[in-house]
Structure 1
């Protein structure tokens, strides 16, 4: 069931978004009770997702230093530089720029593993590296936002509401997931709980995007031009990320499976972690939420293209002589 949902998650999220838009247009009053569910849903989503990240096995990530060095160099140095060259010279409205930066600056830690597996990457290395990616991005994101947007914007964004959301929706689920995983190493019931939680990320994220679509439908209706403006940015990013993955794989002398893993990591972004940050922004900046959800949908369809392109054409197995 889990693999089936993950294979078809692009369509699941698309249906959820369209359903949410329809609900918001047909029954505007429904958005208020749905909004009350959003934060608990996000907390449950992050907890369920974090329990699937091997937080208690951080040492496994350091067993292959070349791969880890390539992964960290690409995600936290090369990709931000590429992103700066890609978007900062474009005439984007500040709120749209914030959404683009939030969603593209940090790497994914959930469906990255799924697509790595489906795309003939090294799933073991992907699983081992996800705790490192998650922990590094928590500290790196504020520095990136200060670098790209300046200290004035960072002071606006770093409100008490954002800090509360960060503690309640990221730090608390992360700590709870770590405790759950430690317990699962000793107790069978906890192991079953973790396995059961593995079924929840896709349906929970579908419900989250449905709620956001319903509550943001008026903004979506007025953002057609803006979404068409960022669409080529997101498509160009996917192409550049794939090329960076291939280049760093060659530079660090990685096997094809490991190089594909790099590519899927660079191509997938951590939209569900930055959503709580975007939702706490002042009302004038709330269009960033729509941009983030839109990027996730573009990315998912991009990953479908990656699955056929990356292992067969971009990073194939070496031909036998």
Structure 2
């Protein structure tokens, strides 16, 4: 009997709209139909939202930082935020999401439990072999999913089963890791990982996929790069600007439109290793590269901006650097 596929999408920074996964799902469904003649079942898509839990905290108070200031211990982070005074709700939505997640224990725990509780009802099907559960997280959602899977494993709610795979797009699980649970070794108490050895019983999943867009500076800050076994850890680097002329290298749909991503996702979702073979993936990448052509003037300018941002803020393991980067991206209208 074929397994029922369920794809849980965990949204990223400031992106908790009810339809946040629609563009990505359409790309996947269109690609699936082009290769198999059939569209994906709409019932397979399960958006997982947690953004509403931040709503009360993300309302900018009069002095701009009143509600979040007591929870921030890093003076450099506060300093980095000073220029955001009066800069508008969009900046506050994105920046405060990160701050509340990183420094506000109550908000963080509520988000973790929300996502863990959303995953939990699908676990019996995974255990019984009737459900193919695919977890897809983007941006801030990668840190959220990391903590949520760890909670499920630590609480015994996984009941000894291994999740088939997680797909982390624009992975920030390292820079936004919890104060008590490092994202990976050394040392690594986090259970959100594939087996580090063949007898590793603490691992919560079988395969870990992570994707980094070279033109997306967000996952460059304290990059996620554990020393895990290649057989179970799959790291992919891609180059993509955005779907149909939209220039946004950090967007969820931008990641999913890349053949390096949608082929692996469809392989996980369908378990069809013929239609979505690695050989077909290579061909899709070649076709996309040939069709890409020369960058437009806008793309060329953004490439220049992104290169400078990466040089200035990339590879720095600091919440303050991350906030400064987000601030710069908002000003440059990349986020």
TM over 0.5: no
Q: Which has the higher strand share?
A: 2
**Structure 2-normalised TM-score?**
0.25
**Structure 1-normalised TM-score?**
0.26
Q: Which has the higher helix share?
A: 1
Larger RCO of the pair (alpha carbons < 8 Å, separation 6+): 1
